[in-house]
A and B are shown apart, each in its own frame.
Chain A
Amino acid sequence: MKKSSSWRVFAMVALLAILLTACGGTAAPTAAPEQPAAPAATEATAATEAPTVAEPVKLVVMASEDELSQDIIDAYVAANPGVTIERIDPDATKLAAMIVAGEQLDVIAGSGADTSAYADRGWVLDLTPYFAKSELLKADDMVPSVEYFRYKGGWYGMNKDWSPDQSFFISKTAAAEAGIELPPAQTIITWAQAADWARKMTKSEGGRVTRVGMAYSDYWDGTVQTILMENGEDLYSEDFSKANIKDNPTVVAFLTLMAELAKDNAIFNPLNPSPEWVVPDLLNGRAASADNGYWIQGGFHDAENPVVAPADYVMYPALSWGGKVSVNPALGGAGWFISTKTKNADAAWKFFEYYMGGAPALNRAQIGWGLPALKSLYAEIPATEEWQKQFIENVQWEQANTIQTPRRINPYYSTGIFNTTWQANLERYLKGEITIEEAIANLDAEVNKAIADGIAVAK
């Protein structure tokens, strides 16, 4: 055996290991210098003029692939030479990690509900000066739900589309089968009525539920806030320090109604969850009605060989608790922010503007997964099929006749906690471990505790 053979092997292997790491890993971590917040004095370069070939710019965007497809990236890069865009999958923990580590992050896709949290932590840039100068994104052209992205006087982002999220869809055939006579379009239907219908339209066979009457959206805190808005009440106290759940009769009545529907398997619930999500549920006849938003249109639009045709569905305004008024704002607003860790705020803004007001926005409007955030794009909404026209009519009626003020977001805790806590307690109720009163009391306690924790940390 040659004397040096083992050394060579060792050296080669070590080299291989190092090379692999270099290929697979990012460069050795360097602490990124803190970027100052976009100085107000910087001119936002006119976004749509001839592309400037500046030094190479790299933008890191945290958005899902559905939201930011490779086509959009390619189109932008082609029109803006020198720019490269790296997309990373959204993840709350990774977001926190990147910001904390000072890694480059330019654009963050997120929900308007997160604005207060992000702004308080100093994660997102105040874009007011950019909006002021923008040609494409004008404040008076925007829909009300842009309000979700404003906080304490600052304006941190924009929604990429919106939808009145709680409109009610019901299948004509299922209703006919159950002997229900559907009211004319644009009638306000109450929750009690819809619950009754849901029970009638539920089908089961040999112990298995083959169709639930309603695919409830699981927007628990959203629904609660909107039905309270009918009377001008709110889930939270004025200063957001307390949530009124068990002491508010409307809230208790609503949660009880839904819990009982769950017990009767008239809605999907933790014991019998939906195998997919609302659009396939409706199209495959697994659910007879649903309270989701206009954005369902997008899912219907793409349907191939559905068991139940989109044309079978009628869209009504959002369900009302009291029966007189329907409240149906966008419940959040999927949109974009620009992070404070951006290396080039102007370049990030340019891309932001393109996505929000340029060709991608046009495209989104035409596909119809949501209504455009810019009123000027409303002409692009698809309206070829009869059912599409009916949907649009409903939306327009709702815009004129329902309350669409954005709901108040509590900055001290994440609304997801309301939903997961309620689902966990609902599960216990359905398994017979606790009563409804206990479930509601637990929810009240948990939510208020989370709020208190948030307040304590914020001090």
Chain B
Amino acid sequence: MSADTQTILQTKRKFLGLSGYGWLRVSWFYVFIAPWFLGFLAFTVIPMAVGVLMSFTNFTGTNFDTYKFIGLANYSEAFGEFFTDGLAWYALSRTFLFAIITIPINIVLSLLIAILLTRNIRGKGFFRTLFYIPSIIPVVASVWIWKALMDNNYGVVNAVLNEIVPNTYIRWLTEYPFHVLVMWSVWAGVGGAVIIFMAGIQGVPAELEDAARIDGANNFQMFRNITAPLLTPVIFYQFIVGIIGSLQILTQPLLLAPRAVQAGIATLPPRENYMFMIHIYQESFVRQRYGYGSSLLWILFFFILILTIVMTYTSKYWVYYEVNPEDK
């Protein structure tokens, strides 16, 4: 730039407050993030606050004029269920079981597939998309497919099993619904993770690979010592996302419930699929106990928070960041 332009720029900067924190420049930032932030307040913060308040009342959804504050009664009832082996804790245990089973399977399977696909083969993109299709299909469609596939009486899976071992008749949707749910979850969840892992693997800097080869490393050693550590941030991310997502699972068990015709927000799935969110909906909308339901929601939130914090805290023992991820 010429010296003249420089001077002009400097003058403009001073005038318009381009550098530092001139008031004109600064206020535009707030304007630009206003829609998001106001939305955040309106749709997240305020409902959360209302939810906390609601959890201290006996609100039933209709008694706007007559509800009472009942302090911690809802919470003590929820915790009390723990000792009486009540429904809330059963639902929580099912949800944890679901998370514990599906998250590792998802991660391991996607990683394996990603490794396979990043070998020197043709049509990577094609295969990658094929694995991704189950994730793209809308939830309603993909759950329906599984529901029809695994149908007790007319499902293909039972038909195939019958060919192999005559007279097998497994009542998937009513006796093994959890297995169906896990299978669906893996099937639909692997695609996205495969894409991310593939990118991560392909993102390993070439110099590192070449250096390792020169040192005589074989494929397995390369993976173990170079690729895997570099993938740990991605794996960590998948864990976090997995925890948050699977603990809140709701729509898929509802859609899998075996009644052929009606699928609503208050459907009751078989016992094995009675997830915590479903229990919350039953309590809030069927039993009309919005206050109690809100307290259950906060208990769930608490668990998710604890797990996320623990994961993040322990991450420093096994996750390798090569660069500061918060580069700005």
Contacts and interface: CB of A to CB of B under 8 A. Distances in A.
- The answer to whether A binds B is yes
A208 B270 contact: no
Contacts of B62: 96, 99-100, 121
B174 A273 contact: yes
B64 A270 contact: no
B224 to A, nearest CB: 44
Interface in A154-192: none
Contact of A271 (B171, B260, B268, B285): B171
Interface size class of B (residues with CB under 8 A): 20 to 34
A424 interface: yes
Contacts of A92: 285
23 contacts: A93-B265, A93-B285, A96-B61, A96-B62, A100-B64, A206-B167, A207-B167, A207-B169, A270-B174, A271-B174, A271-B175, A273-B174, A273-B258, A273-B259, A276-B260, A276-B261, A277-B261, A416-B286, A424-B271, A427-B270, A428-B271, A431-B175, A450-B287
A272 B271 contact: no
Given A100-B61, A270-B174, 6 more contacts: A207-B167, A271-B171, A417-B286, A431-B271, A456-B58, A457-B60
Given A417-B287, A427-B270, A457-B63, A272 B260 contact: no
Contacts of B261: 276-277
A396 interface: no
Interface in B257-285: 258-261, 265, 268, 270-271, 285
A247 interface: no
A453 interface: yes
B76 interface: no
A453 B289 contact: yes
Interface of B: 58, 60-64, 66, 152-154, 166-169, 171, 174-175, 258-261, 265, 268, 270-271, 285-287, 289
Contacts of B258: 273
A33 interface: no
5 interchain residue pairs of minimum CB distance:
A206-B167, A207-B169, A271-B174, A208-B169, A275-B260
A426 to B, nearest CB: 11
B269 to A, nearest CB: 10
Contacts of A424: 268, 271
Contacts of A456: 58
A420 interface: yes
B216 to A, nearest CB: 56
Decide if the interface of chain A is mainly helix, strand, loop or mixed. Answer: helix
Contacts of B174: 270-273
Contacts of B175: 271, 431
Contacts of A99: 62
A191 B40 CA distance: 60
Contacts of A420: 268, 286
A431 B273 CA distance: 14
Nearest to B175: A271
Interface residues of A, number: 29
A414 B287 CA distance: 8
B167 to A, nearest CB: 4
Contacts of B58: 456-457
Contacts of B63: 457
Nearest to A276: B260
A453 B293 CA distance: 14
Contacts of B154: 275
A282 B60 CA distance: 40
Interface in A68-121: 92-93, 96, 99-100, 121
A270 B168 contact: no
Interface string A428-450: 10010000000000000000001
Nearest to B265: A93
B159 to A, nearest CB: 12
A416 B174 CA distance: 21
Interface in A245-292: 270-273, 275-277
Nearest to B274: A424
A302 to B, nearest CB: 17
Contacts of A270: 174, 270
Nearest to B170: A207
Nearest to A277: B261
A374 to B, nearest CB: 31
Nearest to A91: B264
Nearest to B271: A427
Contacts of B60: 457
Contacts of B265: 93
A400 B137 CA distance: 58
B169 to A, nearest CB: 4
Contacts of B286: 414, 416-417, 420
A340 to B, nearest CB: 13
A450 B282 CA distance: 13
B175 to A, nearest CB: 6
A206 B154 CA distance: 14
Contacts of B268: 420, 423-424
Interface centre among B64, B166, B268 (most CB of A within 10 A): B268
B271 A206 contact: no
